[in-house]
Structures are given as structure tokens and as C-alpha cells.
Amino acid sequence: MSRTLVIGDIHGCLTPLEQLWSVIDPTPEDRVIFLGDYIDRGPDSKGVIDFILARLPDFRIECLTGNHEEKFFLARIDHTELDHWLSAWGGGATLESYGPGGFDDVPEAHWDFLRQNLPYIETDTHIFVHANLEPDLPLAEQPPFTLVHKKFGTPEPHQSGKVMVCGHTAQKSHVPLNLGHAICIDTDPGRGGWLTCMHVETGKMWQTNFDGECREGTA
């Protein structure tokens, strides 16, 4: 039976991603959803995007856009945004992963990939977003800021009755926060935490880190 597998914020952490992929061992029938924030902080943002791109032809992969991808685009065209990205967002590690030419070394295929990422994904039972939802607004009317930037906090159930699954708000406990109607699986791999994958249908989770450790549990 096919699975829906959702993977939280990666933040340039290619080694945990490679191990996590090996552990969950997706089949071409599984649906794999990435929640965004592929870049910044960790040492190999380029490698993370290359990893995903290499698997797009053979797997059912869907990717959301995160606030760090949005900042990446803004930093490319605005010096003030660039300074902020480099000083406060971990952008320096991203540019270093591409090479000495900075933005000039970013392949056009990477920009194309990031442009095509989705604001949300909806199934019969769940809504997947990077950051959050406004509970009283249908998906088509959600503000872009909420979808990409709004912190998790204590969200109310969405009017659809569906469970929201998101990343964005780093859980310092390094385990997902499950409120029943909303689940945050950003477990902060870019700052010493763990990278998380959740099997949506069962709630089972797998986590990996830079120390080569793997653990399982229930989200």
C-alpha cells in the first residue's frame, strides 16, 4: 500500500537527508511531500536541491516553498535583503555550497525548481503548508504571509476540518508538536536538531541527524 511521507525543514543538511531517505526507503508509489526550507544554515544547500532534483523523475515528489527560499530570491536582487540574509538567516553557508561565484554559480535549474514550488498541498484529510493557516479562511484566500511566515503558536482548527501539517517553527525539543488538528515537524536540523519524516496515515516518524543517528517514534 502506498504511503504519504512528509519531510520537514532540511536547511542544507544533506547528510541527514540522505540517511533519512535510505531509512524510509520510498517506492515510486509513495507520495513524498517536502515542506520547504531546503537551504540556509547547514553546509550543503546545493546538495540538498541536487538530491531532490535527481529523484523527481522516479518518485512522486511534491515540494512546498519556504520563507528561506523566498529570502534567497530577494537577496539575489536587493542588497539590503542580501545583507540581512547573510547576517541573520544563514545565507553565507548557502552561497559557499555553490562555489566562489556566489549567485552566479547557482544553476538555472535550481532557480526553476524553487520557482515551481507550491504554496500548499491539500488531500482529503490533510493540508500541508510551510508555516501556518488562518483558521477561518479557505485555502484559496490564505494570505501568502501566513502560508510562508506565520509562526505555529497555538493555531485553531481550520474551517475545513482537515489536519494541518507544517514546518517553519523550530521545535527546540527536537520532536514534532502534535495538537491533533495541527502538527509541526520542524525539528531544527540546521542548528543541532533532527530531520523528521512522518508517515501521514499512521503517525509514525523517523528522525536522523549529523551524528549518523536514527530514531523512530510517533509524531
Instruction: Supply the residues annotated as catalytic.
Output: 68
Cα 209 to Cα 86, 125, 132, 137, 213, distances in angstroms: 24, 30, 25, 36, 6
